[in-house]
Structure 1
Amino acid sequence: MEQTLVIALVGILGIGAQWVAWRTGLPAIVLMLIAGFLAGPVLGVFDPEHAFGALLEPMVAIGVALILFEGGLSLDFRELRHTGSAVGRLATIGVALGWLFGALAGIYIAGLAPEVAILFGGILVVTGPTVVIPLLRQSSIKSRPASILKWEAIVNDPTGALCAVIAYEYFRKVAEQPGATLFEVVPPLIIAALIAGLIGYVAALAIAWSFPRGAVPEYLKVPVLLTAVIGVFVISNLIEHEAGLVAVTVMGVALANMDVTSLRSIHPFKENVAVLLVSGIFILLSASLSIEDIRYINWPIGLFLLALLFVVRPATILLSLLGSKIPWNERLFLAWIAPRGIVLVAISGLFALRLSDLGYTDGNLLIGLSFAVVVVTIVAHGFTVDFVAKLLKVKGTTRPGMLIVGSTPWTIALAEQMRDMKAPVLVVDASWQRLALARQKGIPFYHGEILNEATEHNLELAPYQNLVAATENEAYNALVCNEFAHEIGRDRVFQLGESADGEDKHALPASLRGRALFESGFGVEDVSERQRQGWVFRKTRLSEEFDFEKMQEKLPNAANMLLLVRDNGTIRFFTHAAKPEPRAGDTILSFSPPQTKTAEEKAAKKASKKQGVQPT
């Protein structure tokens, strides 16, 4: 099959699996593994090794490097304030214990040769951002355990690679010079890792200095950054195998903490690149698996996999976090969640060949065994993360919430309605005075500038899947919507429309604005004026008997539907561009004028007073 067709199929399968995962809520990584396995060894649609030959390994290696760099860009040291010393413990004590327990399980349960088990135990300390981050994205986990898992995944990936390199270099040294000691192997490798880290840090400094000063034009920033990452990776690998992973991780973390404002504009692009790389690499690696690799799996290997899930990981986490301030429910959650991904498979495949060259026949087991670990951990953790999170009370709010930017009488009234409908709601404003009404009404609020980068670390934004920007400044509202569109989704950021008179010659282009609230496109002045006239929000629950048409008959003609909330908490807005289909069980929130009593109602009330009957 032509290489171009294989590339197209890899893209279709990878992104298709991501889309199905989004629609169904199933773990994306599981679906990608299944898609690649079916396309490769089961149906034989394509064979990546045949299609790309010797280029497959460097392609995967560079892809992993870019993924680790992108993950490093998401690590801000300010997050460590919430995780305490947990990340440091897991990156040091946890690595040592995980390596020890994994090696012992490989020797005494799987029956591997000691050398192979020790090397594989080092690789097993990785968890991997390629699987952890998508898992956290799909599940609403509280910020502290989610942050610990993310940091552990990104920091331990290059660490696990270095552990494998240390083990391999030691066994190679012993094969060449019997009687060689660890002291002859470890110090040079540590020095190589430090040099690689320094190279990554210097590259980050160069980027941080040149980008803000205009030394690189805007259209070249992304190409320069990607080329620099690949260059740092390749140069560091020339110093020592897998040292490049250390270099790109350091480079990413360093840039994330150097406050390079010009990097914010490329965040959407680098996230899109990461999604493409994760999808493509998982499809390629799972399609590369052969039926012969699976035949190595036997009962001892099965028991080894169970030991990884129920003994090695829990013992590593619980012992590492002894005496820490992390609550026990979060420790138990961390002890269960440890899916493995691309780095495990890529490094295992590399060292399987090297161990075979050294004469260790069990080295061939590493390919099938690494895939078995990936499949078992992803399936076990991917399908149980929600259940375990609920059981241990570390799951965040599950009902979609609303983030309201701007504290005005209208937004506070909207927040009250959303709170009454059990939807998480938060009002954000930079003015303490304007937040007075929110404090008085007991509405959750945040005092601060929503566009300040520090807000991302001081405020938990995960529960809020819809944003309404409704300050008195329409340009500012548009800026907020544009800033959060790539995180929340362009179709989930809303702002009040232009003035209803349509005479604003300075109106912002639609491409720069969020979705306009209300089908009528009410603007800031419109809702303020109507609220002064006594307009109010009204909630109406639909049923089989009382449908949308009957509801419209009961409301005043001037009423405007704003949104509906379904039984599962899903929020859908009535906008100038989209109109949801109301159905039984939905609660519709409308903004309508005060209802005036009809002549018949007034006469009935007057008659009841004459008869001494109190109206109901």
Structure 2
Amino acid sequence: MQPDLTLTIAVIAGSGVAAQWLAWRLRWPSIVLMMGAGLILGPLTAALLGAPVLDPEASFGAYLRPMIALAVAVILFEGGITLNFRELRDASSPVRRMVFLGFPLGWALTALALHFITGLALDLSIMIGALLTTTGPTVVLPLLRQAKLPGRIASVLKWEGIVNDPIGALGAVFMFEAIRQTALGHDWMMAAGFLALGAGIGAAMGFSFGFGLSQAFRRGLVPEPMKAPIVLASVLVCFAAADSLAAETGLVAVAVFGLVVANSRLASIEEMRRFKEGIASLLVASVFVVLAAQLTPSDLLALDWRHLAFILVFMLIVRPLSVMLATAASGLNLKEMGFIGLIGPRGVVAAAAAGHLAAVLVDAGRADAEILAPLVFATIFITVVVCGFSVAPLASLLGLSQSGPERILLIGANRWTLGLADALRTADIPFTIADTSWDRLRAARLAGHEVYYGEVLSEAAEWRLEPSRFAVLLAATHNDAYNALICVEYAPELGRSHVFQLSGTDAETDADTSAEDPRAIVYTARGRTLIRKGRGYESLTGDWWRGWRFKATTLSEQFTLASLEEAAPEGDVILARTPAGKIVMSGAVSLPDTPGTTLIRFVPPSAGSD
């Protein structure tokens, strides 16, 4: 491989991932910075320096198109594998209405607005309308965490993105195939026949791969270490095989492939999803940088006031109107419908698919398709920027935000956690205590604490418990293995540094010492240890019955953490809450020592209690 091509690949991957990381640090929508990186490396430097820093077409030549197509295939499969029909059946009425009514309404209104405002041909308007009607979890989920929305609104936005993403892509691909056939000189009847044939081939290929792979996994024909690589290779083979049998049917095949796998009830589905999310994140970053860098200054200058007018109409009229019509009499109030209607950032699938499909249509003789990529990119950029920076203020303005101190999820109702719950309530630290026993939750219910009755590892918990509400999880049941399982399950949602469990044995649970005790769970398969070694369930509950209690202490400029440790060396600090409301658990990092920080300590009778 030539050095310049090696450098190009490194620049694409490095700038894309760097943009994602910077977006995480700044709490900005990652898609904005990824597109910005591509625009800076491509058209912006071309306009300023006369030549772009990154020119994918010159670097990859004929290989660029298939590389993008394969990346889009993996991204579409990753979207399909998140769509579980059981979850859609169990969804609330607003979610079902947004899927079955909101999507077709939005598609039709978007296509009409495109056609009459921009003058784009009706068939192209219908194709792009399908893509622009999708939101997508990659852009919606970060906004939900940023705005701290109530469960019902977050649920509608989340599942609209997850469900409509692959459906919109499929609709666009079907319309694309019809346009491509007519561009090749076939009449509409023949184009419809080719479309039906292509859809059938793609769906059959995707179903065959999905069913075959699911059966192989279920029968134990694939070892665990090879499952994720085999899934990735199967996606690429499925895409290429479908495209070889019928041109441009690969995207249909991989989307159906993902749907079949997602609904096969495989025990390893979560591991596959996480692996695919990691691969998809790298591919999403790379595809965005490449597609944005491919734009030229002339492409951007081709956008005029009509395209800007369409984007404004799309954001302020089309989206709110389709949401209002779809969710009327669904239980949502006017504020909730208005908020959902105004928050609809367009995402990854729209950009990736539009760039790929537009290039194929131009090659097929549709010169008017050249405007599609810059138009879709402009729509995505504006919607993501506006929604990303307005979601929190808009939620606060409408009184829909749950902003406030960070919330703790306590797993296990026992004397120790109930005592901790009382201390948290006294200190005004919000929390929820969860247990599978209604009887064990009795004391918490009588005390007026927020409780969750049910198994936190069940699918129902994803809907009813709303894990995104919590900043920290503490698993404090008597079963160390169960605590570890809960932490591993919730780590991808909350972050591994925010899931804690009680110490299981006297051994340190870290990389250096966990192997020394055969009772210790390996540190990679558990949460972070609260407090210190040896302070597990039996030790803490034993101290509770010996009279230990929880005490809240607020630090000041005169009374610092060092002063507290000197004055009261006995006891354990459980957590700290900063004046800004941030929760820091003992065992995570150094405890904050700023004035106004509240410490929750577990102390012996001689220290007194609140």
TM-score range, shorter chain: 0.7 to 0.9
Q: Aligned-pair distance for 1:36? A: 2.0
**3-state secondary structure, aligned to 2:410:** strand
Q: Aligned-pair distance for 1:188? A: 4.7
Moved more, 243-252 or 224-233: 243-252
Q: Deviations over 1:571-608 (max 9, x none)?
A: 11222x732232112111111112369xxxxxxxxxxx
Moved more, 431-440 or 372-381: 431-440
Corresponding residue for 1:606? none
Q: Deviations over 1:378-430 (max 9, x none)?
A: 11112112223333454455532222222111111112222333333222222
Matched residue type, 1:552: E
Moved more, 202-211 or 512-521: 512-521
Q: Aligned-pair distance for 1:362? A: 3.2
In the alignment, which of 109, 112, 115 is matched to residue 120 of structure 2?
Answer: 112
Q: Are 2:42 and 1:40 equivalent residues in the alignment?
A: yes
In the alignment, which of 44, 57, 65 is matched to residue 57 of structure 1?
Answer: 65
CA contact (8 A) 2:181 2:194 kept: no
Corresponding residue for 1:285? 291
Corresponding residue for 1:318? 324
Corresponding residue for 2:257? 251
CA contact (8 A) 1:485 1:493 kept: yes
CA contact (8 A) 2:288 2:351 kept: no
Matched residue type, 1:385: V
CA contact (8 A) 1:27 1:138 kept: no
Corresponding residue for 1:517? 530
Q: Aligned-pair distance for 1:310? A: 1.0
Corresponding residue for 2:429? 423
In the alignment, which of 16, 19, 28 is matched to residue 18 of structure 2?
Answer: 16
Moved more, 155-164 or 426-435: 155-164
Q: Are 2:216 and 1:210 equivalent residues in the alignment?
A: yes
Q: Distance in 2 between matches of 1:498 and 1:357?
A: 63
Q: Distance in 1 between matches of 2:109 and 2:346?
A: 16
In the alignment, which of 212, 234, 238 is matched to residue 240 of structure 2?
Answer: 234
Corresponding residue for 1:592? 603
Matched residue type, 1:368: P
Q: Deviations over 1:207-251 (max 9, x none)?
A: 222213211111111111112222223333445555433332333
Corresponding residue for 2:303? 297
Corresponding residue for 1:461? 467
- Distance verdict in 2 for CA 1:151–1:429, change over 3 Å: closer
Q: Are 2:395 and 1:389 equivalent residues in the alignment?
A: yes
Normalized against structure 1, the TM-score is what?
A: 0.87
Structure number with bigger Rg: 1
CA contact (8 A) 2:556 2:594 kept: yes
CA contact (8 A) 1:78 1:457 kept: no
**3-state secondary structure, aligned to 1:569:** coil
Moved more, 194-203 or 373-382: 194-203
Q: Deviations over 1:289-338 (max 9, x none)?
A: 22111111222222122111112222222223344444433322232222
Q: Deviations over 1:117-138 (max 9, x none)?
A: 4443344333344433444454
Query: Matches of residues 74-85 of structure 1 in structure 2 within 5 Å?
Result: 74-81=82-89, 83-85=91-93
**3-state secondary structure, aligned to 1:121:** helix
Q: Distance in 2 between matches of 1:240 and 1:88?
A: 33
Matched residue type, 2:592: E
- Distance verdict in 2 for CA 1:521–1:268, change over 3 Å: farther
Moved more, 465-474 or 150-159: 150-159
- Distance verdict in 2 for CA 1:513–1:85, change over 3 Å: closer
Moved more, 342-351 or 64-73: 342-351
Q: Distance in 1 between matches of 2:357 and 2:278?
A: 30
- Distance verdict in 2 for CA 1:222–1:76, change over 3 Å: same
Q: Aligned-pair distance for 1:288? A: 1.9
Which structure 2 residue ranges, 5 or more long, are not aligned?
A: 46-51, 509-515
Moved more, 315-324 or 331-340: 315-324
Query: Matches of residues 425-444 of structure 1 in structure 2 within 5 Å?
Result: 425-444=431-450
In the alignment, which of 394, 397, 413 is matched to residue 419 of structure 2?
Answer: 413
- Distance verdict in 2 for CA 1:184–1:99, change over 3 Å: farther
In the alignment, which of 561, 565, 568 is matched to residue 548 of structure 1?
Answer: 561
Q: Are 2:589 and 1:573 equivalent residues in the alignment?
A: no
Q: Distance in 2 between matches of 1:351 and 1:268?
A: 28
CA contact (8 A) 1:404 1:469 kept: yes
Identical positions, percent: 40
Moved more, 204-213 or 94-103: 94-103
Q: Distance in 2 between matches of 1:157 and 1:239?
A: 25
Query: Matches of residues 136-535 of structure 1 in structure 2 within 5 Å?
Result: 136-164=144-172, 167=175, 180-181=187-188, 184-186=190-192, 188-190=194-196, 192-238=198-244, 240=246, 242-353=248-359, 355-356=361-362, 361-396=367-402, 399-498=405-504, 506-519=519-532, 521-535=534-548
RMSD: 3.1
Normalized against structure 2, the TM-score is what?
A: 0.87
